[in-house]
Amino acid sequence: MDVGTEHGRAQTEVDDLAREQRKADADVEQVRSRKERNRQRIDAGQISDPKQLQAIQHETQSLDRRISDLEDAELEVMERLEQAQAHLARLTAELERLDAQQGEQTGARDRATAEAAEQLADSSAERRMLADQVPTDLRALYDKLRAHLGGVGVGALQHGRCGGCQLDVGAAELARMAHSPSDEVIRCEECSRILVRTAESGV
Ligand SMILES: [Zn+2]
């Protein structure tokens, strides 16, 4: 059971016991006032018949026992209510602690998201800057290839393989690439992507 559910149950228990306690109070009060009425009648000299007087005195004794029983019950409910209230207070504190913890986690996540967005903005700016340095015709070719090839217009040539389509470049083609000037644009025969030569190109 999670803390929220447990807290809900504890709150219900406190409410139930508080209602039970109010009823116990009212029960005791009712019997007390009955006893008080009897006492007033006797004190006022309203009861002249000795048998009736005896009966009322007898009832008063039984009311005393009843009051004692009801007070015991009332006390027991009060004790249970106090325990339930203490339990509820503990769970309330626990809930508040968890809320604070969750707030911290949300804050940390938001900060991480903001940081990532910032980095993305930085790399976008960097990309635009680099793109400006690329000759116009090469950029036009790159943009066209990128648009047609799922957003990737260029592949690194590594160990004789195209990083765009992951296919090996043929040996003859590879030999031709090895002899082409470094500023010549070379492209993959399979996927047409622009190939970038690196130290690990194998050419
Ligand atoms: Zn390719």
Ligand 1 center from residue 144 Cα (angstroms): 15
Ligand 1 center from residue 171 Cα (angstroms): 14
Phi, psi for residue 162 in degrees, rounded to 5: -80, 125
What 8-state DSSP symbol labels residue 168?
B
pLDDT digits (tens, 9 = 90+) for 83-106: 999 999 999 999 999 999 999 999
**pTM above 0.75?**
no
Domain ranges of the chain: 3-125, 136-197
Phi, psi for residue 158 in degrees, rounded to 5: -130, 125
Ligand 1 center from residue 101 Cα (angstroms): 50
3-state secondary structure string across 25-68:
HHHHHHHHHHHHHHHHHHHCCCCCCHHHHHHHHHHHHHHHHHHH
pLDDT digits (tens, 9 = 90+) for 27-68: 999 999 999 999 999 999 888 899 999 999 999 999 999 999
